[in-house]
Amino acid sequence: MTTIPDLGPVPQRRTVGVDLVRRLIGEQFPRWADLPVRPVAHGGWDNFTFHVGGEMVARLPSAAEYALAVDKEQRWLPVLASRLPLPVPVPLAHGQPGADYPFPWSIHPWLEGEPARPDRIADPVRFAADLAGFLAALQDVEAGGGPRPGKHNWFRGATLRTYEPAAERALTALDGRIDAGLAREIWTTALDARWDGRDVWFHGDVAAGNLLLEHGALAAVIDFGTCGVGDPSCDTAIAWTLLTAEGRRAFRERLSVDDATWARGRGWALWKTLVSAARTGEEAAHALGVLDGIFAEYRTGR
| pLDDT single digits (tens) 225-236 | 999 999 999 999
Beta bridge partners of 61: 47
In three-state secondary structure terms, 82 is: coil
According to CATH, what is the number of the domain 114-300?
3.90.1200.10
In three-state secondary structure terms, 90 is: coil
Question: Rounded to a whole number, what is the distance in angstroms from the first to the last CA of the chain?
Answer: 35
The model's confidence at residue 206, banded by pLDDT at 50, 70 and 90, is: very high
Is the pLDDT score of 3 beyond 60? no
The pLDDT of 179-206, averaged and rounded, is 97
Tens digit of each residue's pLDDT (9 = 90 or more) over 101-152: 999 999 999 999 999 999 999 999 999 999 999 999 999 999 999 999 999 9
Please state, in angstroms and as integers, the Cα–Cα distance from residue 194 to each residue in 35, 77, 257, following that order: 51, 29, 13
Q: Which of 32, 250, 51, 23 is nearest to 135 (CA)?
A: 250
Q: Which of 69, 206, 214 is nearest to 134 (CA)?
A: 206
Question: Which amino acid does the sequence have at 199?
Answer: D
The pLDDT value given to residue 203: 98
The continuous run of DSSP H or E covering 59 comes out as strand 56-61
The model's confidence at residue 8, banded by pLDDT at 50, 70 and 90, is: low
The pLDDT value given to residue 140: 98
CA distance 232 to 224: 14
The pLDDT value given to residue 2: 44
Neighbours of 36 (CB within 10 A): 11
Is the pLDDT score of 39 beyond 60? yes
Q: Which residues of 68-104 are buried (b: 16+ CB within 10 A; e: fewer)?
A: bbbebbbebbeebeeebebbbbbbbbebeeeeebebb
Q: Which of 135, 164, 87, 154 is nearest to 243 (CA)?
A: 135
CA distance 183 to 278: 13
The pLDDT of 77-82, averaged and rounded, is 97
The pLDDT value given to residue 1: 37
The answer regarding whether domain 18-109 maps to CATH 3.30.200.20 reads yes
What is the percent of the chain where pLDDT is above 70?
97
The pLDDT value given to residue 280: 86
The pLDDT value given to residue 13: 82
The pLDDT value given to residue 45: 86
Is the pLDDT score of 4 beyond 60? no
Tens digit of each residue's pLDDT (9 = 90 or more) over 17-29: 999 999 999 999 9
CA distance 236 to 4: 22
Residue ranges of the domains in the chain?
Answer: 18-109, 114-300
Spatial strand order of the sheet with 37-39 comes to 37-39, 47-52, 56-61, 105-109, 93-95
The pLDDT value given to residue 259: 98
Say what the pTM is. 0.95
- DSSP codes, 111-155: PP-EE--GGG-S-HHHHHHHHHHHHHHHHHS--TTPPPSSGGGTT
Q: Which of 151, 160, 220 is nearest to 6 (CA)?
A: 151
The continuous run of DSSP H or E covering 254 comes out as helix 245-255
The pLDDT of 264-290, averaged and rounded, is 95
The average confidence (pLDDT) of the chain is: 95
DSSP letter at 5? Answer: P
Is the pLDDT score of 10 beyond 70? no
Is the pLDDT score of 213 beyond 70? yes
Contact 98, 24 (CB under 8 A): yes
Is the pLDDT score of 174 beyond 60? yes
The model's confidence at residue 302, banded by pLDDT at 50, 70 and 90, is: confident
CA distance 203 to 154: 12
Bigger pLDDT: 125 vs 43: 125
In three-state secondary structure terms, 20 is: helix
Beta bridge partners of 48: 60
